Each structure stands twice: as structure tokens, then as C-alpha cells.
Chain A
Amino acid sequence: MDRPDRPGSGPPPAEASLLNKPVDRRRALTVLAGAAVAGVQALNACRPASTLSEEQRELKLLAWREYIKGNYRDMTEAERAETIARLERQALVERGSAVTIQSTGAQPGVVFGYAFNISKCKGFRSCVEACINENNLDRNADTQYIRIFEIEDGVVDLDHADATFQHEVPAEGHFYLGTQCFQCADPPCVKVCPVGATWQEPDGITVIDYDWCIGCRYCMAACPYWARRFNWSAPEVPVPEVNPNQHYLGNRARKTGVVEKCTFCIHRTRQGRLPACAEACPTGARVFGNLLDPDSEIRWVLEHKRVFRLKEDLKTEPRFWYFSD
């Protein structure tokens, strides 16, 4: 029913070459090849349900339901409970790890603040070790939320700092300064996330919904303190070392391709406990508490010590101060 194209509009005079086959056969071959490939893929993807074990079917259903869920912020309490139940079940079935995932909200009248004593820090990195264990950080990639810098006396300049020191500490003529996520009051990372996967909770903790994050890493480019980490490969924690006390927005099992960061141990601090780093520090260099409580230690430090913050000029208003004795 198609009339052929006008004269003079066909392909140019063919050189007698293998490459100039008539279009029909070429198209037919393309279609056939495409169909074959598609068919094989379809066969692979849709194995009849009867070949899957009960456990595999359950896992697939859990994975599907997890995939289609929305942003944690927009979920109702019931939906949150459901997703937590699914995640706990997944952890148990897939990895044999029995965990409890909290969805504890922020306590009213609480905004967390942190102070770091650069006279007391001796560079022991006990905080780093405690953080790794508490937050189920990837052992393969040796993810560390906390960075301890050794700096020469006389300058507070991170361009001349060394975080890779591995010698007896404290070293003469140096002081130590630790960084982690500062839970800024005006966080640039929250501003730039295109899907709203990261936001700040009322108690000041900037959190990430790992299942909503698409892994674009714009937040990592935006953070002035290099506080965020990306899962470049599948994170792994040996099951005996898993901390089963988890929070949905904190130290639950993450997956490849999403961003994570320090959450001030949200699973502990929302229960009134100290973050693992503050608890582990042997020199007492870390002070943590509620900025809204006038009787708290953090408030005493801010009122009586000479405090400073990093990159104050960027106006991110970090809730992490440094002071010295």
C-alpha cells in the first residue's frame, strides 16, 4: 500500500558489496536477532515461580515492596512500621542477622550540639574504632565517618594537616583535630539533593533515607567538611560484628550506590545515650548534649570556653565547635 519513493530517491548506485544488501533481509535479521536476545532475557528474568524456593519468593516480594515505597518523610506511622518490619525480616532471612530497627522520632525540646577539645585530643582514634563498630560501617572499604587530623602547632589550617599518621601519639609539637558530619543548621547538602532524600530532623540531625537516595552524589560535592561517604561497592559487615541496635535513619544496613554519613548515633542519642565516639574517647575530649538545655555541658562549654568552628565564613552554622583548655 505504500507507493515507492519518488524516482531518484533510492539508495545510491550500489557497489557490488556485501554491505549493500537489500533492506528487507537486513531488517528481518535485525528483528530476529533482537527478538532472540529479548526472548533469552525474558526467559532469564521470569523463571516460573515454582522453581523458586519459599525463601527466595519471600525475598523477592520484600524487595519489590521496598522498591516501590515512598520517601520516609511522607510515610504514615503504619507505613513506617511496615517498612521496618520488612527490613528486619530481610536482614534475618538474607544475612541471618537479627536486628531491631527503631523509628524513634526526635525528642521535643532537644537540639544536639557537640564540642571537641583540641587540647585533650591526643590522636588515639578510639572514636574512629567505636564509630565503625557502632554504625555497621563497611569493612571492605574501611569506611570511617570520623577523620582525625594531626596538625603542627601554630596554625589551624587543614591544608597542612595529616590524617594518615600512624606513629605513637601525641607527637611533639602537634595537636589533633577531628571532623565528622557537623549537622549544620543550614546544611548545603539538604539544599542540593534533587529527590529530597536527605533532610534535617527537628533535633538537628541531618539524616538520609537510604532507600530514597538515587546516588547522584551532589550532596557530597556540596558538603564543605567532607562528611559524606558513598557506597562504591556492596557494604559488608561480618554478622557477628553487626550492631543489632539500629535506626531506620541511622546505622541500619545500607546498600550499594547510596550515600551515608555520621548521624550522631541517632539510635543512641534519641534514647538519651551518648554517641559512640563521645563515649569511647579516653581523654574526655568530646562533649555532647542538648543545646536547648541551659544546664548542659555543651552550653557551659559554649559560654565559658573560646570556641571556633571550621569554615565559619561559609555560614553553614555547624553544630560542632572546637575549644581548648
Chain B
Amino acid sequence: MRFRGGKPMLHSLLAAGLLSACVEDDSPGTGDDATVEPGGPATAAAAPVRDDSLEPGTLGSVRAIPVVGWSGPGGRPFEVALRTRDRESGHARRFGTITLRTTLRGGTPDLVQYPCTSCHLGRTVAMKDTRIGDAHQNIQPRHPALLGAVCSTCHSPSAVDMLTLRTGDRVDMDQGYRLCAQCHFAQAEAWASGAHGKRLDGWQGRRVVMGCSDCHDPHRPAPLPRIPFRAPTIQRGGGHD
């Protein structure tokens, strides 16, 4: 379905509303209900909201808790807990605790331009600013173009190190999943439940997963075709195939 900027579909609005209403961020190692400002400046701390009308299993709440002492792959892991209306269980919930490993666009090769503030020194960026003409020419905004979106649809012009949700809330680059989930709520639910994407650690114990942009370049999300590993040799006689 086409998403026309400025006229969100009802369900995406609902989802976005639900998500933004329920999203909260915690600092490391604190208890359940503490709310802490996320890692960027000047972002309103979202108050924790539990919606009791939610069915267990829906993307009730997502919390990103940075993990201390992580020795697995990835740079800055967060522990993401999915909360449902089952309050007693505290941390663990319908889908267990997933630990988010985000490497800040580990999939895209052209990542020489982060942090954004290295060029955009805190000031508002005008879309037509062409002082550094070829700054972002390597980005082919296929995905945004399909939706009739522009850069500022997702990137916050006033805080360029952050992303912006449809509700106007700003989120960290590490919480890009919240952005994608606004439209791709089905994939987001599958991702949180384990049917989309993969686990980085084993099947047992803590779940470590990646964020959306670790596999999907947000500007060109479709996976690239490749030449597969060699085909099986089907021999006739004298051995295997």
C-alpha cells in the first residue's frame, strides 16, 4: 500500500501511536519501571505506559537495555524486553528477553558519514543545502521514494543524529526498529517473536538479535541477489551425488 506522506493510514497511525505510547528506554541494570533518557540529547523521556487492552503476544512494549560485559558479536548491544499484560513476570515475557545487537548500519558499506554531527554541527539542515554537493549522493533512496517520502520523513532535521517517528518523537539510531515498525508492523511482530531475522546466540537462554538496519539498508532494503554456493554434484554411478 502506498504511504503518502502526511496522510497516514489508520492502522499505521494506530500502530505508531501504540508504539510511541508504549516505548520506553531504560538505563543499564535498573529495575523494571525506571525510565531514563535515551542516549541522545534533548529527547522527551516517554513515560512508561502499559496498555491493558493489549493481547498477549502483540508488540506491547519494547525496552532497550544496554548490556554490560557483552562478549558476543556486535558493538553496542541492548537488552530488549517485550512486555505484555502479564505484569508478574517482570522481565521475561511472552517472547522472552531479546538482546538487541546493533552495529549501526553494519550492513551498508558506505558508512563513512556517521556521526552526522561531524558535518551537521547541530544546526538545522535544509534539504536543499548543497554546500557539500556530493555528500549523500551514494545513497539511493529507493525505499523512501516508493513511499513518497523525503529524507526528513525519517531523519530528524533538528537533531540529525536521531531518527524521527510519525508522532514527532525522536529516537536513537539504535532504535531504528521503532521507525520500521510503524509501517512494517507485521514484520516487526515477527521479528520480536523470532520468525523474522535470526538469533545470534544459541536457541537457549538469552535472545540476541539484530536491528532492522543490520540486514536491510533502510534506503534500499531489498536483499541483494548473489551467486549461490556450489550446486550438488549429481553423479551417475560410482559414488555420491
Contact = CB atoms under 8 A, between A and B. Distances in A.
Interface of A: 115, 117, 122-126, 128-129, 138, 141-144, 147-148, 163-170, 229-230, 232-233, 268-269, 271-274, 278-279, 281-284, 286-290, 295-298, 300-301, 304-305, 323, 325
Interface size class of B (residues with CB under 8 A): 35 or more
B147 interface: no
B215 interface: yes
A20 to B, nearest CB: 46
A142 B229 contact: no
B111 interface: no
A40 B199 CA distance: 62
Given A141-B239, A143-B240, A290 B204 contact: yes
B197 interface: yes
B39 interface: no
Contact of B94 (A115, A169, A281, A295): A295
Given A142-B232, A296-B194, A301-B194, A288 B227 contact: no
Interface string B196-235: 1111011111000000000100000001011111111110
B231 A281 contact: no
A165 to B, nearest CB: 6
Contacts of A290: 203-204
Given A269-B203, A290-B204, A300 B193 contact: yes
B194 A166 contact: no
A142 B231 CA distance: 10
A138 B238 CA distance: 15
A122 B194 contact: no
Contacts of A273: 201-204
A279 B232 contact: no
A177 to B, nearest CB: 14
Given A284-B197, A297-B195, A142 B240 contact: yes
Interface of B: 57, 92, 94-96, 186-187, 190, 193-199, 201-205, 215, 223, 225-234, 238-240
Given A284-B215, A297-B195, A164 B229 contact: no
B203 A229 contact: no
A325 B190 contact: yes
A315 B199 CA distance: 31
- 8 interchain residue pairs of minimum CB distance: A297-B194, A141-B240, A272-B204, A125-B229, A273-B202, A284-B198, A300-B193, A272-B202
A271 B202 contact: yes
18 contacts: A122-B226, A124-B226, A125-B231, A138-B240, A143-B240, A164-B232, A164-B234, A169-B228, A233-B239, A272-B205, A273-B202, A278-B199, A283-B223, A284-B215, A295-B95, A301-B194, A301-B195, A325-B190
A232 to B, nearest CB: 5
Contacts of A168: 225-227
A43 B83 CA distance: 77
Nearest to A168: B225
Contacts of A124: 226, 228-229
A286 B228 CA distance: 17
Nearest to B187: A325
Given A271-B202, A272-B204, A232 B228 contact: no
Contact of B239 (A170, A232, A271): A232
Contacts of B233: 142
Contacts of B231: 125, 163-166
A126 B229 contact: yes
- Which of B194, B197, B205, B223 is most buried by chain A, counting CB atoms within 10 A of its CB? B194
A297 B95 CA distance: 8
Contact of B230 (A122, A166, A278, A296): A166
